[in-house]
Amino acid sequence: MSYIDGFILAVPEKNKEAYRRHAESALPFFKECGVTRMVETWADDVPAGKVTDFRRAVKAKPDETVIFSWLEYPDRAARDTAAKKMMNDPKMKEIGANMPFDGQRMIYGGFKSISDKGKGGKPGYIDGSVIPVPAENEGAYREAATRAAAVFLENGATRVVDAWADDVPDGKVTDFKGAVNKQENERVVYSWIEWPSKDVRDAGWEKAMTDPRLKDHAMPFDGKRLIYGGFRPILDA
């Protein structure tokens, strides 16, 4: 299965187009390094949570919007080779010097895919989530993810991906651990659902929430600390 570098960041709303152009300009270099897919999505339906949420995860300011973004690689080895090239290439320094957002609050990490279902394609809408899961529940989570993916795919989703924390560093300001108040015995899951459109997503969720395959099974994690939201793709290449 593929390897994922997942990102969450806060971007000033006025910089939306500047951010899209910045990401687009970095794409040729990332592809040169071995990235097989780069997706950038802009917050659209991201609710506030009682304990955790996307905005708190990146300490978003009132005039900022959350980005949910990822890079895909064939495997961990390809990702590590790419990371080494990126860190030693002047092009990366140039990319980093012109970011239209506060890079100190960017959250990032590497994740190994444990469930990747569906044919995929060019989605019109993304549901993104970050989940704290007890390490000993990895198998139970994989089973739950496979079961949930079947429900979502039957109700209009085109791809469902769940990826398990593998190389997720602590940050000085923000990180995945803080995003979900991760406990010592937990691991972070980076997950998303691809939909053709928001309308299909809304209808799909309505049907999924009444499906006994989701209703009649307990979650193998603390749902109160799960962060989730709906995002519109602004770059998918």
Q: What is the mean pLDDT of residues 173-187?
A: 97
Provide, rounded to the nearest whole percent, the portion of the chain with pLDDT above 90. Answer: 94
What confidence score (pLDDT) does residue 56 get?
98
**Buried-exposed string 16-48: b where 16+ CB fall within 10 A, e elsewhere:** eeebbebbeebeebbeebbbeebbbbbbeebee
Q: Model-level pTM?
A: 0.96
1: pLDDT strictly greater than 80: no
Task: Name which of 78-82, 160-164, 215-219 the model is least confident about.
Answer: 215-219
Q: What is the mean pLDDT of residues 2-23?
A: 98
Where are the chain's structural domains? 3-236
What confidence score (pLDDT) does residue 117 get?
98
What confidence score (pLDDT) does residue 94 get?
87
| CA gap 228, 195 in Å, rounded | 15
Average pLDDT, the chain: 96
Which residues have C-beta within 8 Å of that of residue 67, sequence separation ≥ 6? 7, 8, 9, 10, 11, 19, 40, 41, 42, 43, 101
Residue located via tokens 């002047």:
90
What confidence score (pLDDT) does residue 215 get?
84
Written as one letter, the residue type at 80 is: D
What confidence score (pLDDT) does residue 96 get?
86
Written as one letter, the residue type at 208 is: A
What confidence score (pLDDT) does residue 136 get?
98
pLDDT-derived band at 217, boundaries 50, 70, 90? confident
Q: What is the mean pLDDT of residues 160-181?
A: 97
The fold for domain 3-236 equals: Alpha-Beta Plaits (3.30.70)
162: pLDDT strictly greater than 80: yes
Q: What is the mean pLDDT of residues 87-91?
A: 91
Indicate the helix (H) or strand (E) that contains 207.
helix 198-208
Q: What is the mean pLDDT of residues 55-71?
A: 98
